Amino acid sequence: MIGMRVWYNVMRLNAKARIVRVEASKVGKHMEQTNPTFEVTNPATCEIIARLPIHSTDEVRAAVQRARAAQPAWEALGSEGRARIMRKLRRVAVAHKEQMIATIVAESGKPRIEALTEILYLADVLTYYCANVKKFLADENVAVHLVKTKRALVTYHPFGVVGVISPWNFPLLLSASDTVAALMAGNAVVLKPSEVTPLTALLLRAMAKRAGVPEDVFQVVTGLGDTGAALVDEANLIAFTGSVPTGKKVAERAARTLTPVLLELGGKDPMIVLQDADLDRAVAGALYGGMMNAGQVCISVERVYVEAPIYDQFVQRLVDGVGKLRVGADPDGRDNIDMGPLTFARQLQIVEQQVADARAKGATVMTGGHRREGVGLFYEPTILTDVTDDMLLMQEETFGPLLPVIKVADADEAIRRANDSRFGLSSSIWSRDKKRAEQLARRIEAGSTVINDVIINYIVPEVPFGGIKESGIGYRHGGRDSLRRFTRPQSILIDRLNLKSEVTWFPYTPRVSRLLKTVMNLLYKRK
């Protein structure tokens, strides 16, 4: 959808000044002169770095129509043919990692190393899909237990056009992971990235084109919520990653056309620290899990439950650890900061509102608790104690650098309180007794639980990832479902015996009735 001029500008200016400037007048030939535009801002400098078109309903429909026309030839390449192109995409992405890092950093403000890990993940997941696509999408012969006169197989077909709608917190990873999986499965993709961080998606699209993905097979439409809503109306399947309220809107809208949706939504992940935990590792894990990407991770640690005997020590070490975090921007690319700004102003307001609410209700701010003076959307990493369950920061997703630490009497109380939430994305348990931790993990109501680590579960492509309760619905990615969720299964049953008729066909007679009853008694009566 967006012409190569965007790619050109992004690449050239990244190389020159590590900043992306895309003016509306320079956006490619597909953009109508009349398009309204939106601005993309660098959250570390508050500079406007790009102005992009808001694509209309008609433009989204046209993009989906082009994608639908291009999809059969892409599917016809077969899994091996598509994997060849996707391997090339991996090479292109790795070769252009500096431009990609600069773009991600410019529009999200995150530390360069966190941008680099997004590219690493893309390269790894492409490797995993390329190695397994043939196996995951192969026809399956199925053994039939009763109707032995038929051979059964299941075949997997792409949906056609998959609409991917993505958030801003991992501009590459969360646009790319569904996009590449849907493409691998033989679909065309129309991606609607977040309006906060759309430049990385445009770069991804340009890289895919360079790797050989046909122009209409993978398109990007830019805009606000209405552009996403238009995509919901047109695509054959929607893969949505974002907040719970928007996820509900997407599900409601998709219900009008009975379009299937995959929803990856928000979280309020608990971390449970038992008294026999390795304290050094648990403290370092809480810091990383709570403050990585300034806490803007769907599987951030958002609530820490610590057993009473180690509570005071844990809090003290956590506060000491926060004191060592280097918060700021890294304009010279020295890789020497740990935490960047919040990515956009609304997110900063949510954090400020939750801290004000917690203070008003009696929480103690052990460290942080305020916005950093000066330019940029920086908020101090914050540890809170004396928190109660009625506070906003215990009820709502924060998506910011806040860690409430709660004292609990024992593991039972920790699990009860961890489960007392409408979210159920991920979770972690910390203990030297891994057997006990594993048993306790089974009692946590979440899509995943990590023992003695955090966040890592997203990047292990062999295991399912996805939420329960309000954290998501639909097939998860992970293992063969990563690709199969972008296909519709079709069962094919083939008659083996070539008889002139079947016992259960017309005409119905007393003899048929006796036969069926005998079979039923033989098979089911005594068991």
Report 369-388 residues binding ligand NAD (CB under 6 A). Answer: none
Closer CB to ligand NAD, 55 or 407, in the complex? 55
Total binding residues for ligand NAD by CB under 6 A? 30
Rule CB under 6 A: say whether 317 interacts with ligand NAD: no
Cα dihedral 390, 391, 396, 402 sign = negative
Rule CB under 6 A: say whether 108 interacts with ligand NAD: no
Closer CB to ligand NAD, 156 or 486, in the complex? 486
By CB neighbour count within 10 A (0-12 exposed, 13-18 middle, 19+ buried), where does 480 fall?
A: middle
Task: Write each residue from 179 to 208 as x if it is in contact with ligand NAD (CB under 6 A), else as -, in one continuous string.
Answer: -------------x-xx-------------
| CB-based contact 175:122 (threshold 8 Å) | no
Degrees to nearest 5, angle at CA 285 with 448 and 279: 115
Closer CB to ligand NAD, 85 or 105, in the complex? 105
| DSSP secondary structure string for all residues of 322-356 | HHH--BS--TT-----SB---SSHHHHHHHHHHHH
- From 68-76, 160-168, 355-363, 434-442, span contacting ligand NAD (CB under 6 A): 160-168
Degrees to nearest 5, angle at CA 83 with 81 and 88: 105
Rule CB under 6 A: say whether 293 interacts with ligand NAD: no
Rule CB under 6 A: say whether 224 interacts with ligand NAD: yes
Rule CB under 6 A: say whether 115 interacts with ligand NAD: no
82: which residues sit within 8 A by CB, 6+ positions away?
Answer: 74, 133, 183, 184, 186
Closest separation between CB of residue 481 and ligand NAD, Å? 14
Rule CB under 6 A: say whether 307 interacts with ligand NAD: no
Among 53, 242, 270, 401, binds ligand NAD (CB under 6 A): 242
Among 121, 129, 156, 168, binds ligand NAD (CB under 6 A): 168
Rule CB under 6 A: say whether 396 interacts with ligand NAD: no
SS3 state at 22: strand
* Two structure tokens written together for 288: 């990383």
Among 89, 206, 250, 310, binds ligand NAD (CB under 6 A): 250
Rule CB under 6 A: say whether 311 interacts with ligand NAD: no
Residue number closest to ligand NAD, CB atom: 228
Q: How far apart are CA 341 and CA 326, in angstroms?
A: 11
Residues with active-site annotation? 264, 298
Q: How far is CA 320 from CA 144, 153, 196, 283, in A?
A: 62, 60, 33, 10
Rule CB under 6 A: say whether 487 interacts with ligand NAD: no
Residue 165 host element (H or E)? strand 161-165
Closer CB to ligand NAD, 74 or 168, in the complex? 168
Closer CB to ligand NAD, 232 or 358, in the complex? 232
CA nearest neighbour of 456 among 265, 284, 267, 285:
285
Among 14, 56, 241, 259, binds ligand NAD (CB under 6 A): 241
* Two structure tokens written together for 120: 């690493």
| CB-based contact 321:283 (threshold 8 Å) | yes
Closer CB to ligand NAD, 160 or 267, in the complex? 267
CA nearest neighbour of 303 among 207, 388, 418:
418
DSSP class of residue 442 equals T
| CB-based contact 93:29 (threshold 8 Å) | no
Q: How far apart are CA 384 and CA 366, in angstroms?
A: 6
Degrees to nearest 5, angle at CA 104 with 101 and 107: 140
In one-letter notation, the amino acid at residue 38 is F
Q: How far apart are CA 486 and CA 489, in angstroms?
A: 10
Task: Write each residue from 26 to 65 as x if it is in contact with ligand NAD (CB under 6 A), else as -, in one continuous string.
Answer: ----------------------------------------
Rule CB under 6 A: say whether 89 interacts with ligand NAD: no
SS3 state at 331: coil
Rule CB under 6 A: say whether 229 interacts with ligand NAD: yes
- From 79-87, 90-98, 165-173, 490-498, span contacting ligand NAD (CB under 6 A): 165-173
Rule CB under 6 A: say whether 449 interacts with ligand NAD: no
Rule CB under 6 A: say whether 397 interacts with ligand NAD: yes
Among 30, 249, 359, 484, binds ligand NAD (CB under 6 A): 249
By CB neighbour count within 10 A (0-12 exposed, 13-18 middle, 19+ buried), where does 188 fall?
A: buried
Rule CB under 6 A: say whether 478 interacts with ligand NAD: no
Sites of contact with ligand NAD (CB under 6 A): 165-169, 174, 192, 194-195, 224-225, 228-229, 232, 241-243, 246, 249-250, 264-267, 298, 397, 399, 425, 467, 472
